[in-house]
Amino acid sequence: MPLLPPLDKNSIPAATTFLLCLMKGTDSPPPRRPWLIYVCVLGFIVTPIFTSLNNSYELHIGDRSIPGFYPLDAVKLALDNLITLAPLFVGMRFLSSDDGRVLLLKSLPIAALFYSLPMLFEVRFSPQLHNWVYGFFPHSFGQTFRAGGFRPVVFLNQGLEVALFASMSCIAAVVATRSRLKIFHAPAGAVAAYLAVVLLLCKTLGSIAYSVAMAPLVLFTRPRTWVRISCIILVIVCAYPMLRTFDLVPVKQIAAAANTVSADRSGSFAVRVENEDKLLAKAELKPYFGWGTWGRNRIFDQDSGKDVSITDGAWIIRFGMFGWLGYLSLFGMLATAVFSARAGVAGPATRSTIVLGGLTLILAVNVTDLIPNATLMPVTFLMAGSIAGRVRASGRVPRNQTRAARSNAQTSLAVSR
């Protein structure tokens, strides 16, 4: 509908959760949020407006015409971006206390336990649930074949997203083990072991590597180390387009390492890098605000007008569509949340610091996966908001209780006089 952004199974839960949280309210005081995150939020919302100023014309390639990115499109996308950020505000306002972060951390493996049932079904019988329920398959079915079997998709966009969710949940269960939390009255270590098996059945090398690398880090180092590593990851991701432009990313060495594991994976990585180089060259023609939507950022054959590009990573999609302003507003927002966690883990390794550091590390894993894949999810913003808030529930008294105590003290003083 005119002026309304598209509503789907991501935006509707995000918007309704935000509205229900506002209706319910909270007794905890508003957290102190880093001011830079509001700058990034504003940039994230208004970027489409600036992009439309230089893209309100059609592109004619061969016998194909690509629509312009007009101001009306920009307004609708700006509203959609506002809805996309609803989980960020929910996390900052309602899950920024120590208890809120514990709840969020435990929710990941709990959700994965329930989701593992349809995942295991599709591992055995092939990804069919999305087609049965919605009437279509969201991705290429051929990409679900791996290692002589299937990897699950269930109701997400593709198997890579399901595998990443399983990896994040497995890491969350390991963090819960370190902080001595229980999940459904069961040891968190047992839940982590079960989710590790489910993750292996997802047959996705990258997601498995995340858990293999992060699990010992969580078990044998301090939360301060996790946050430092997360900060380094976010700085690299924020500068990634520039690093690729100046050939500072060792893509050849990465391809060689991938070849030792699987020749198919190495070949896939080489094709991805080649396409990213072409897309990056086009993105640099409009480096500040990008090309906009409707596929204007993609590569087309000059004669036939056929789309000949492959876009996998969220970084190149975001950079090509909205330039540096759109790129840094998104990843700068996530980086600000990660850097704000440094003060919260400065002390000894307590349950609160372990949970905060664990959520920060999980968010860094999610952001890392945005380089090879487009796996930006609502839970990404939810974790960022929870980390960015600086309220400690154990050390702060709710505002209404403070007012009541002040009123009682004044009444007692008047009576005594």
Quick: pLDDT tens for 129-168. Answer: 999 998 998 887 877 887 778 899 999 988 999 999 999 9
Query: What pTM did the predictor assign?
Result: 0.89
Per-residue model confidence (pLDDT) at position 400: 46
Distance, in Å, from the CA atom of 84 to the CA atom of 318, rounded to the nearest integer, reads 15
More confident residue, 307 or 416: 307
What integer pLDDT is reported at residue 349 of this predicted model?
87
**Is the pLDDT score of 394 beyond 70?**
no
10 Å CB burial of residue 20 (0-12, 13-18, 19+) is exposed
What pLDDT score was predicted for residue 212? 96
Q: Is the pLDDT of residue 2 over 80?
A: no
User: Can you give the pLDDT at residue 27?
Assistant: 79
pLDDT of 149 reads 84
Q: Which residues contact 10 (CB under 8 A, 6 or more apart)?
A: 84, 377, 378
Q: Give residue-wise pLDDT tens across range 318-328.
A: 999 999 999 99
Bridge partners, 307 (sequence order): 300
Q: What is the predicted pLDDT for the residue at 391?
A: 56
Task: Calculate the average pLDDT of the chain.
Answer: 88
Which sequence spans correspond to the domains of the chain? 11-105+222-394
Which residue has 């699990």 as its token pair? 215
Percent of the chain with pLDDT over 70: 91
Per-residue pLDDT, averaged over 262-279, amounts to 81
Residue 214 has a pLDDT of 96
CA–CA gap between residue 171 and residue 157 (Å, rounded): 22
Q: How far apart (Å, rounded) are the C-alpha atoms in residues 83 and 218?
A: 33
* Whether the Cβ atoms of residue 149 and residue 121 lie closer than 8 Å to each other: no
User: Average pLDDT for residues 365-391, to the nearest whole number?
Assistant: 91
What pLDDT, on a 0 to 100 scale, did the predictor assign at position 224?
A: 95
CA distance 356 to 175: 10
